[in-house]
């Protein structure tokens, strides 16, 4: 099968969606001729015209507001925010409009629109262009939150999100855009569920987005020491597929939670709470959370590298989890 980048897979999904539904359009800053900061809409205007691919002023509140209004009257807009960091300037539209309108209208309206944006550190973009803010969104009922880790998932999940009748925030990690994997040419949709990326029997690592690759690299390294790690890629944080997580922990009895976002108040805390509630009696050691330190994302390359959870930290956490249970049972 051919291999394409995540950027190409997202562009392909947009082409498929636009070709299949005339109610779909996209708005955002410089997305027409330039292709946007995310560079995933680079040829849409040539294929579907300026009525359906529209540049906007620099106003995230207006951009998300278009999504709210247009979706309520039967359109399926895709709105693009250059960076998730700029979500704050549109947060009233997300928090008090998109998330609540269907509920406040008693289910008489749908809001089928997607907010596409990018997150993540590692490329030297500084503190205001490198954050991972998914936990803020997961705290708000009424919003789907999707974070693919590869091109295959990005295509299938984006097509599913575009056809969802609820607002979806689709978060793409900027360090993954050039990463390739096998992706079918034909259209396909992926359900909102987690997947076991690597089966194992000793320890479960629960993760998502770019950290999936860190977890897999750590698991490969640990194999050489006789430690068999299972890696779960959540793919979707809301709705959360807790059943896949619990099934894994019932098998391994050890849990390590990994994400790039700040450890303090990060989504890993919610994961840990749900695991404790559902599988406390199956745990042989305390849940370990790995996340970024509680500081803004550094601009310095050396400091930014230290900020992002490393393979070595994951390897150490897995060993710590196993050593705890070994001491307890000795």
What is the CATH class of 195-329? alpha beta
Q: What does the pLDDT read at residue 176?
A: 98
pLDDT over 70, % of the chain = 100
Q: Is the pLDDT of residue 271 over 90?
A: yes
pLDDT digits (tens, 9 = 90+) for 51-83: 999 999 999 999 999 999 999 999 999 999 999
Q: Can you give the pLDDT at residue 168?
A: 98
**What distance in Å separates the CA atoms of residue 292 and residue 307, rounded to the nearest whole number?**
6
| pLDDT computed for residue 37 by the predictor | 87
Q: Which residue from 50, 168, 178, 49 is spatially nearest to 116, judged by alpha carbons?
A: 168
Residue 106 CB neighbours (<10 A): 7
pLDDT tops 90 at residue 201? yes
The total of other beta-carbon atoms located within 10 Å of residue 314's CB is: 27
Domain with CATH 3.40.50.970 in the chain: 3-182
- Rounded distance between C-alpha atoms, residue 330 and residue 326, angstroms: 6
**Residue 329, pLDDT above cutoff 90:** no
- 300-313 pLDDT, tens per residue? 999 999 999 999 99
- pLDDT for residue 33: 86
Distance CA 252, CA 295 (A): 33
- Give residue 162's pLDDT: 98
C-alpha to C-alpha distance for 52 and 46, rounded to whole angstroms = 11
**What CA–CA distance (Å, rounded) separates 57 from 67?**
15
pLDDT at 221 over 90: yes
Q: Of 30-44, 62-76, 117-131, 163-177, which range is least confident?
A: 30-44
Q: Which residues are CB-contacts of 310 (< 8 A; sequence separation ≥ 6)?
A: 214
User: Residue 255: its pLDDT value, please?
Assistant: 98
What's the mean pLDDT when you consider all of the chain?
97
Helix %, strand %, coil % for the chain, to 5?
40, 20, 40
pLDDT average, residue stretch 111-135: 97
Average pLDDT over residues 82-105: 96
Q: What is the mean pLDDT of residues 205-212?
A: 98
Where in the chain are all domains bearing CATH 3.40.50.920? 195-329
3 state SS of 25 = strand
Residue 254 catalytic? Answer: no
CB atoms within 10 A of CB 52: 18
> 3.30.70.360, 3.40.50.300, 2.30.30.830, 3.40.50.970: which CATH number matches 3-182?
3.40.50.970
Asked if residues 187 and 16 have their Cβ atoms less than 8 Å apart, the reply is yes
pLDDT > 90? residue 38: no
Q: Quick one: average pLDDT of 251-262?
A: 98
Q: Exactly one of 12, 29, 80, 129 is catalytic; which is it?
A: 129
**pLDDT in the model for residue 265:** 97
Pairing type for strands 180-182 and 144-146 reads unpaired
Q: Are 166 and 191 in contact (CB under 8 A)?
A: no
Q: Which is the catalytic residue, given 12, 60, 134, 230?
A: 60
Question: What predicted TM-score, i.e. pTM, was given to this entire model?
Answer: 0.97
What's residue 108's pLDDT? 94
Nearest-angstrom CA–CA distance, 53 and 155: 19
- Whether the Cβ atoms of residue 193 and residue 235 lie closer than 8 Å to each other: yes
Residue that has been written with the tokens 């709705």 in this structure: 239
CA atoms of 224 and 309, how far apart (whole Å): 21
Indicate if 270 belongs to the active site.
Answer: no
């Amino acid at each position: 099968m051919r291999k394409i980048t995540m950027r190409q897979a997202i562009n392909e999904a947009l082409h498929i969606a636009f070709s299949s539904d005339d109610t779909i359009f996209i708005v955002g800053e410089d997305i027409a001729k330039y292709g946007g900061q995310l560079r995933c809409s680079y040829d849409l205007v040539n294929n579907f015209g300026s009525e359906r691919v529209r540049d906007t002023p620099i106003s995230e509140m207006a951009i998300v507001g278009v999504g709210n209004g247009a979706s309520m009257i039967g359109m399926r807009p895709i709105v693009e925010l250059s960076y998730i960091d700029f979500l704050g300037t549109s947060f009233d539209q997300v928090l008090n409009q998109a998330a609540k309108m269907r509920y406040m209208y008693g289910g008489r309206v749908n809001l089928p629109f997607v907010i596409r944006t990018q997150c993540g550190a590692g490329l030297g973009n500084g503190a205001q262009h490198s954050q991972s803010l998914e936990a803020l969104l997961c705290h708000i009922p009424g919003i789907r939150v999707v974070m693919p880790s590869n091109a295959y998932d990005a295509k299938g999940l984006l097509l599913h999100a575009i056809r969802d009748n609820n607002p979806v925030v689709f978060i793409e990690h900027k360090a993954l855009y050039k990463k390739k994997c096998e992706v079918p040419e034909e259209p396909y949709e992926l359900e909102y569920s987690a997947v076991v990326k690597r089966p194992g029997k000793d320890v479960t690592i629960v993760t998502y987005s770019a950290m999936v690759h860190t977890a897999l690299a750590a698991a490969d390294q640990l194999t050489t020491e006789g430690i068999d790690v299972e890696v779960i890629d959540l793919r979707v944080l809301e709705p959360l597929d807790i059943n896949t997580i619990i099934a894994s922990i019932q098998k391994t009895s050890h849990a390590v939670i990994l994400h790039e976002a700040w450890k303090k108040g990060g989504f890993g805390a919610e994961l840990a709470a749900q695991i404790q509630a559902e599988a406390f009696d199956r745990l042989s050691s305390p849940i370990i959370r790995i996340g970024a330190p509680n500081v803004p994302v550094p601009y310095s390359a050396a400091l930014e590298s230290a900020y992002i959870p490393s393979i070595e930290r994951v390897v150490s956490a897995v060993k710590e989890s196993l050593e705890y249970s070994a001491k307890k049972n000795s």
